[in-house]
Structure 1
Amino acid sequence: MPIITDYKLPSSVDALDLTAESNSPFFISFHASRDPNTGEPWCPDVRAALPPLKAAFSADAGPRVAFIEVGHRPEWRDTTNVYRTKWNVRNLPTLARYERVDGKVKEVGRLVEGEILDSKRLKEFINGSSASL
């Protein structure tokens, strides 16, 4: 299954494991952490985006995506949060697309918050035909 829930996020984009031989993109979906009382992400935007994200990445032959939890509300709001400082995540949810470009791994596009709920835009983004790439 292309959804990875136990992905060990490296310290930077440069360290993402995208093989030089592959032209396949790799996606990271940054989410609010789950509330221990409800089992649901604390952010309503993330709760709304999870079903379309899961549906979009459910095909066995589709691209890989890592679901990364960025912390609970106090951790997320901390301006020194590693996801803010190292991964430039400012909104939840954020879906970022990474590819190997000229031999280096680079972020080539992202969708944030309500953009993920636009099924046509999400599909185009995943397939690589979006103007936002």
Structure 2
Amino acid sequence: MTIKDNFEVPKSAQELPLPDEPNARFFVLYLSSIDPATNQPWCGDVRRTLPLLNKTFSADPSPEIHYAYVGSRYEYKEVPGSRFRTDWDITRVPTLARYERVNGQVKEVGRLVEGELLDEKRIGGLIGA
């Protein structure tokens, strides 16, 4: 298991660095960025779920996960055309998304959002634990 922090999300799912092997899966956890005034994520749901997610993805075995930050509250919620909202349909943080190759195309095959990420069984179901 590895947590890859500060993952730069590409322009589309097709550009995700998904392994070519059969049944390969790729996980991205979309998080609010750190508020410099508090040194904490600006989103309360992220602050609540991050301890469990860090524990889950630090356990052995667990899949590799990529932490991607959506920007400041203003960048994410107020700026028209936020690429996370428009290109990736990330309308709530935190969001844990699972990607796989389906018929040769990389597709999102599952996601959990906000309070769903406090349920260890649901997380286990999504990651295949």
TM norm. shorter chain > 0.5: yes
* 1:108-128 deviation per Cα after TM superposition (whole angstroms, max 9, x unaligned): 010000001011111111117
**Secondary structure of 1:57's match?**
helix
- Counterpart amino acid of 2:40? E
SS in structure 1 at match of 2:127: helix
- For 2:93 and 2:21, the matched residues in 1 are separated by 32
Identity score, percent: 48
Name the counterpart of 1:131.
none
- Partner residue, 1:41: 41
Q: Which runs of 5 or more residues in structure 1 are unaligned?
A: 129-133
Match of 1:99 in 2: 100
CA distance in 1, matches of 2:38, 2:22: 39
Aligned length: 128
The within-5 A match list for 1:1-133 is: 1-77=1-77, 78-127=79-128
Q: Deviations over 1:58-89 (max 9, x none)?
A: 13542111111101111111241110011110
Query: 2:97, 2:111 within 8 Å by CA — same for their partners in 1?
Result: yes
Q: Which moved more, 1:3-12 or 1:41-50?
A: 3-12
The answer (yes or no) to whether the contact 1:28–1:96 under 8 Å persists in 2 is yes
Give the superposition deviation at 1:12.
Answer: 0.6
What TM-score, normalized by structure 2, do the two folds share? 0.92
Aligned CA-pair RMSD: 1.4
- Once residues 49 and 24 of structure 1 are traced to their aligned partners in structure 2, the CA distance between those partners, rounded to angstroms, is 26
Secondary structure of 2:46's aligned partner? helix
8 Å contact 1:4–1:64 — kept in the other structure?
yes
Query: Do the aligned partners of 1:20 and 1:103 also contact (CA within 8 Å) in 2?
Result: no
- Contact 2:6/2:69, CA 8 A, preserved across alignment: no
Normalised to the residue count of structure 1, the TM-score between the two structures is 0.89
Counterpart amino acid of residue 84 in structure 2: Y
